[in-house]
């Protein structure tokens, strides 16, 4: 099967920021820009998911979220993609397995805000995510302590990289992860929806980050 998927060369370090992006917002942009600097990434792909398995209510239509993401994130090293819809995956661990088959030699880094590290243990086969690719965590408002004390952080404590080693995250062999304390932007998709700035359907759906 042929896919309309991003291009990547063997040896490149690609950060993956997955989520519903329902809607995309300045926090997503901030995390992306800080991750490029903190973790020595060549590029970042926003993986706009078909849905979120941890949320009961379905997101806005994928085409709408893709268009909003492209309007929000204008950066020469960032690509917006619906590759999960194309390859038929919802869970992050399944997406990573397929991407590593499609892109032999590319070094992927999974990116997340601290809020997602705090609840990573709820994700499907979450230990396999940590064992498959390096993980870069960017601070989010109010989530530093809960992230550092989370089951995932404790379970993989000995694999955490500190200080300048985070620039080498993409070259590290998994499991490896690091936490980047950066200036934060206090905004979330949930807040935007609560203010009525983005309407979503009421049907159920299914990926993991928001």
59 close to 90: Cβ distance less than 8 angstroms: no
Q: How far is CA 34 from CA 37, 42, 46, 66, 166, in A?
A: 5, 13, 14, 22, 12
Its pTM stands at 0.84
* pLDDT for the residue numbered 201: 46
Burial of 164 (0-12, 13-18, 19+ CB in 10 A): exposed
129 close to 110: Cβ distance less than 8 angstroms: yes
CA atoms within 13 A on the CB side of 146: 13
Tell me the pLDDT tens digit for each residue of 7-66. 999 999 999 999 999 888 888 898 899 899 999 999 999 999 987 655 556 688 999 999
* pLDDT for the residue numbered 205: 33
List CB contacts of 157: < 8 A, sequence separation 6 or more: none
Query: Residue 109 phi/psi, 5° resolution?
Result: -125, 125
Q: How far apart are CA 203 and CA 58, in angstroms?
A: 5
Can you read off the two tokens belonging to residue 123? 């994700």
């Amino acid at each position: 099967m042929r896919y309309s998927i991003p291009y990547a060369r063997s040896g490149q370090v690609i950060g993956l920021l997955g989520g519903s992006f329902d809607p995309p917002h300045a926090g997503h942009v901030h995390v992306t820009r800080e991750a490029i600097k903190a973790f020595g990434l060549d590029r970042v792909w926003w993986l706009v998911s078909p849905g979120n398995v941890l949320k009961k209510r379905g997101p806005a239509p994928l085409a709408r979220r893709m268009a909003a993401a492209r309007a929000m994130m204008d950066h020469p090293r960032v690509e917006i993609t619906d590759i999960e819809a194309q390859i038929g995956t919802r869970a992050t661990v399944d997406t990573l397995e397929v991407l590593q088959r499609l892109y032999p030699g590319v070094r992927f880094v999974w990116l997340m805000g601290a809020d997602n590290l705090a609840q990573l243990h709820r994700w499907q086969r979450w230990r396999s995510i940590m064992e498959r690719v390096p993980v870069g965590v960017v601070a989010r408002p109010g989530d530093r302590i809960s992230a550092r004390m989370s089951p995932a952080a404790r379970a993989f404590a000995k694999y955490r990289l500190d200080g300048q080693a985070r620039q080498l995250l993409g070259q590290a062999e998994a499991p490896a992860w690091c936490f980047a304390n950066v200036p934060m932007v206090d905004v979330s998709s949930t807040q935007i929806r609560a203010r009525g700035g983005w309407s979503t359907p009421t049907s159920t759906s299914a990926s993991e980050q928001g």
